[in-house]
Structure 1
Amino acid sequence: MKLVTNSLEDTVELGNRLGQTLKPGMTLLLEGDLGAGKTTLSQSIGKGLGVKRHMTSPTFSIIKSYKGKYRVHHMDCYRLEGSDEDLGFDEYFNDEDIVLVEWYTFIEDYLPSEYLHVAIRYIDETTREIEFTPVGDKYIELVGELSENTIN
């Protein structure tokens, strides 16, 4: 499913709706160039999940965890390129928590076999194309729910 958001507010609303739709144990792999909006989308997903704290980019800490409706782990693996360091990623992918992963290609060996891939493409200053590719039945169902609840 592809959607176009025409403002920051549209992107935030989409992330909020996605967050409200997520179920325990779900993993989202976020892809996009620097500045495409991965962190903005992650923050709004967190709001949809009831996270009260402001979610900041975990670029330097790699992983930040938050409490909301479910525990949310926000990972930014950009600094791990070429690293063989074992940071215990497999502990975060479980049946209870939500995991949002930016720059996921650097930890592919640790990723679950089912996930929602979210590709964000910068069109211009305010416009983004966001494509959702579900891998696994529960993610196909998730995208169906999101589609029903989203007007574009």
Structure 2
Amino acid sequence: MEFIVDSVEETTKLGIMLGRLVMPGDIICLIGDLGTGKTHITKGIAKGLSIDDHITSPTFTIVNEYMGRLKLYHFDVYRVNDPDEIYAIGFDEYIFSDGVSVIEWSNYIEELIPDEHISVSLEKLPELGENFRRINIVAKGKRYDYIKEISL
């Protein structure tokens, strides 16, 4: 599915819709350049999971945990230089748990991502305006057929 959004609010709204639908054990991989809205999507997912905490990107800690309808594990692997760093924090235990894992910069650790996941790519569209983004959501695996219910 492809969405064209022109505000942080629309980006967050898309995340909220996704967060309302996710199920235990879901993995959401976020891919996009700096400033494309990965953390805003994550904030929306958190809201959709009824998480009221202030969501920040865990750039230096690699993972933040939040509790809502389901536990949210928010990863930022931008600074990860070696997959062993991810294994050292118990990555498999997080992503194969009953929580929801959101992984920013997942393309940096592609070899560690299970085949079944939700891929969300974000891209700036400067030709349309400063705040415009193209957001593509792709379900990879049958378990994620439910995301067809997302619309703006």
Q: Same fold (TM over 0.5)?
A: yes
* Separation of aligned partners in 2, 1:83 and 1:134: 24
The runs of 5 or more residues in structure 2 that have no matched partner are none
* Separation of aligned partners in 2, 1:110 and 1:33: 20
Q: Are 2:8 and 2:37, in contact at CA under 8 Å, matched by a contact in 1?
A: no
Which stretch shows the higher mean deviation, 98-107 or 52-61? 98-107
* Separation of aligned partners in 1, 2:97 and 2:141: 14
Name the amino acid aligned to 2:135. Answer: I
Name the amino acid aligned to 1:145. Answer: E
> Is 2:133 aligned against 1:128?
yes
Q: Secondary structure at the match of 1:78?
A: coil
Q: 1:144 aligns with which of 121, 141, 148?
A: 148
The runs of 5 or more residues in structure 1 that have no matched partner are none
* Separation of aligned partners in 1, 2:91 and 2:112: 6
Q: Which residue number in structure 2 is paired with residue 46 of structure 1? A: 46
Q: 1:127 to 1:137 in 2, by over 3 A?
A: same
**How much has 1:36 moved relative to structure 2?**
0.6
Q: Which residue number in structure 2 is paired with residue 102 of structure 1? A: 104
Q: Secondary structure at the match of 2:59?
A: coil
Q: Secondary structure at the match of 2:60?
A: coil
Name the amino acid aligned to 2:115. Answer: S
Q: Are 1:90 and 1:111, in contact at CA under 8 Å, matched by a contact in 2?
A: no
Which stretch shows the higher mean deviation, 126-135 or 101-110? 101-110
Name the amino acid aligned to 1:5. Answer: V
Q: Are 2:25 and 2:99, in contact at CA under 8 Å, matched by a contact in 1?
A: yes
**How much has 1:95 moved relative to structure 2?**
4.5
Q: Say what the alpha-carbon RMSD is for the aligned residues.
A: 1.4
* Separation of aligned partners in 1, 2:74 and 2:91: 12
| 1:108-136 alpha-carbon deviations (Å, 9 max, x no partner) | 33322200000001113211110011110
Identical positions, percent: 37
Q: Stretches of 4+ moved more than 3 A in 1?
A: none
